[in-house]
């Protein structure tokens, strides 16, 4: 009987895992929250008919078309479920999913989690003002709806994403008032050997940078947003230069009028489902905070549960695609993994990943965030937006000895709201470390990974259990 493989996510890793597992005769189910396949990086327009010019680099567009095309040709051979959220995973490989008003329990021999990453922001005074957005959120609006988030946008943060988003806004006809990057490109450029391994990606990045330079966008290297002005809506942002420790250098502030501030300080792994299933984790801030421990085939500490792509540590779409194929193959042929033949069949993907991982670790030097930036939050800055928990409430809890995410959550409610801590937990842990927490703690994962109504939970078809 063919093995069944259940894949969570339809980004590069999920799509290629599905293609590979199906090619190996597995019965494949793919659940994905989005209405159309692609994930964040290859996000498609919300409807096929929604227009919009090409804002992504030609190299990226070609990869996107090829992979989505291959996945869509597969769709009548697999059980593909768009607009479906996975909200609980148990160690037995039992996955609970919700599609609108209905829930269902899915079982499979193997589960491949390709749930990607979410963005990280660093709280600063005014960061909850309407108009402050994640850079990736601004990009998603462009990709899915061809909507410019504002008339005059400041893009800021660390790593390559702010550069890409600034360029894409310009290509879509938007106005970028300023591009502020925490770490200079020069530091990354020193790692020539690693960059060479990812030269195609570097070229794409340089083309984005050229777009920004040609448009004459003011670029501020070493600057971060330190305060937003405006009550109901962003009116301006104060950018300031910070030193190596992340402290503001006096008299470097510049106020820039804008209606949107797009911020990204890197990414955190969407590892809730893996955690819930009891998968062993490791902590690595630049590559995604707490990420599942996986072997070269994506196997976790829980037999039958695999993780591939950025969810196992940020390494970009090309690694995700190669890794999806590796994990898809491993999930489909669990007993065969040890054979030499299995490895030979995947040698191209294994080599591709090795080459690009070296490149990505050079890029990740741009994502190192000095601890001082976490001091930007003043006492009345809201850190947990769902439960309105301020930095001073957190500091009061720290002072009383509550320093782990679980205990801070109990005393302050930070992380107890709608988002389940996905937005604030990394900030809570970082602030706790400033106040003497021995390490970046981990919050006990609890179902549900996504909110689901009581009515939908009650709809569960008993026969699907």
User: Which residues contact another protein (rule: CB under 8 A)?
Assistant: 88, 90, 92, 94, 96, 103, 105, 387, 400-402, 404, 406-407, 410-411, 413, 416-418, 420, 446-448, 451-455, 457-458, 460, 462, 465
Q: Is the dihedral of CA 178, 427, 127, 168 positive or negative?
A: positive
Q: Would you say 166 or 397 has its CB closer to another protein?
A: 397
Taking the complex as a whole, the smallest distance from the CB of residue 283 to another protein amounts, in Å, to: 18
Q: Is the dihedral of CA 314, 31, 104, 84 positive or negative?
A: positive
Residue 339 CB coordination number (10 Å): 11
Q: Would you say 92 or 184 has its CB closer to another protein?
A: 92
Q: Would you say 32 or 387 has its CB closer to another protein?
A: 387
Q: In this structure, what DSSP letter does residue 143 have?
A: H
Q: Would you say 48 or 438 has its CB closer to another protein?
A: 438
Q: Which residue has the tokens 């009581």?
A: 454
Taking the complex as a whole, the smallest distance from the CB of residue 26 to another protein amounts, in Å, to: 23
Q: Would you say 25 or 406 has its CB closer to another protein?
A: 406
Question: DSSP letters of 48-62?
Answer: TT------S-HHHHH
Q: Would you say 155 or 429 has its CB closer to another protein?
A: 429
Q: Would you say 215 or 457 has its CB closer to another protein?
A: 457
Taking the complex as a whole, the smallest distance from the CB of residue 392 to another protein amounts, in Å, to: 12
Distance CA 1, CA 63 (A): 34
**44 Cβ contact partners less than 8 Å away, ≥ 6 residues apart:** 36, 37, 38, 68, 143, 144
Ranges of H-type helices in 251-387: 272-276, 285-288, 316-332, 340-345, 347-363
Taking the complex as a whole, the smallest distance from the CB of residue 455 to another protein amounts, in Å, to: 4
Taking the complex as a whole, the smallest distance from the CB of residue 413 to another protein amounts, in Å, to: 7
- Residues 441, 432: contact at Cβ < 8 Å? yes
Half-sphere exposure of 436 (CA within 13 A, CB side): 7
Taking the complex as a whole, the smallest distance from the CB of residue 374 to another protein amounts, in Å, to: 23
CA dihedral 68, 72, 73, 74 (to 10 degrees): 110
Q: Would you say 2 or 436 has its CB closer to another protein?
A: 436
Give 216's strand partners: none
Taking the complex as a whole, the smallest distance from the CB of residue 312 to another protein amounts, in Å, to: 24
**293 Cβ contact partners less than 8 Å away, ≥ 6 residues apart:** 279, 280, 281, 282, 300, 301
Give 110's strand partners: 5
Taking the complex as a whole, the smallest distance from the CB of residue 372 to another protein amounts, in Å, to: 28
């Amino acid at each position: 009987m063919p093995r069944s493989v259940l894949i969570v996510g339809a980004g590069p890793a999920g799509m290629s895992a599905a293609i590979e597992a199906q090619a190996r005769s597995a019965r494949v189910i793919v659940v994905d929250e989005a209405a159309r396949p692609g994930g964040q990086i290859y996000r498609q327009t919300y409807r096929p008919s929604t227009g919009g010019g090409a804002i992504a680099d030609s190299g990226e567009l070609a990869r996107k078309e090829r992979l989505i095309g291959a996945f869509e040709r597969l769709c009548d051979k697999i059980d593909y479920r768009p607009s479906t959220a996975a909200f609980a995973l148990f160690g037995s490989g039992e996955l609970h999913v919700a599609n609108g008003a209905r829930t269902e329990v899915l079982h499979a021999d193997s589960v491949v989690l390709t749930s990607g990453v979410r963005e990280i922001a660093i709280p600063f005074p005014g960061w909850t003002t309407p108009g402050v957005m994640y850079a990736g959120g601004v990009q998603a609006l462009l990709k899915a709806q061809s909507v410019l988030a504002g008339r005059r946008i400041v893009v800021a943060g660390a790593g390559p994403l702010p550069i890409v988003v600034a360029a894409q806004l310009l290509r879509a006809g938007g106005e970028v008032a300023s591009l502020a990057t925490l770490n200079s490109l020069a530091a990354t450029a020193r790692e020539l050997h690693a960059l060479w391994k990812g030269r195609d990606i570097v070229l794409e990045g340089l083309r984005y940078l050229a777009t920004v330079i040609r448009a004459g966008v003011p670029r501020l290297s070493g600057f971060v947003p330190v305060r937003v002005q405006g009550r109901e809506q962003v009116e301006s942002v104060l950018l300031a230069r910070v030193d190596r420790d992340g402290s503001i250098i006096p008299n470097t502030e510049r106020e820039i009028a804008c209606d949107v501030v797009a911020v990204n300080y890197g990414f955190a792994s969407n590892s809730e489902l893996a955690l819930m299933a009891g998968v062993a984790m490791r902590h690595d801030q630049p590559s995604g905070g707490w990420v599942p421990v996986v072997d070269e085939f994506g196997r976790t500490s829980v037999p039958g549960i695999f993780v591939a792509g950025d969810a196992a540590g940020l390494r970009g779409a090309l690694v995700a695609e190669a890794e999806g194929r590796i994990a898809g193959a491993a999930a489909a042929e669990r007993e065969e993994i040890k054979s030499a033949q299995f490895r030979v069949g995947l040698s191209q993907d294994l080599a591709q990943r090795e080459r690009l991982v070296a490149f990505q670790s050079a890029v990740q030097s741009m994502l190192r965030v000095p601890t001082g930036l976490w001091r930007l939050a003043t006492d009345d800055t809201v850190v947990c937006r769902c439960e309105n928990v301020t930095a001073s409430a957190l500091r009061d809890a720290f002072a009383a000895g509550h320093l782990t995410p679980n205990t801070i959550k109990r005393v302050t409610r930070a992380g107890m709201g709608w988002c389940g801590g996905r937005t604030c937990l990394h900030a809570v842990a970082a602030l706790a470390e400033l106040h003497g927490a021995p390490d970046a703690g981990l919050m006990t994962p609890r179902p549900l990974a996504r909110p689901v109504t009581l009515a939908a939970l009650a709809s569960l078809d008993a026969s699907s259990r």
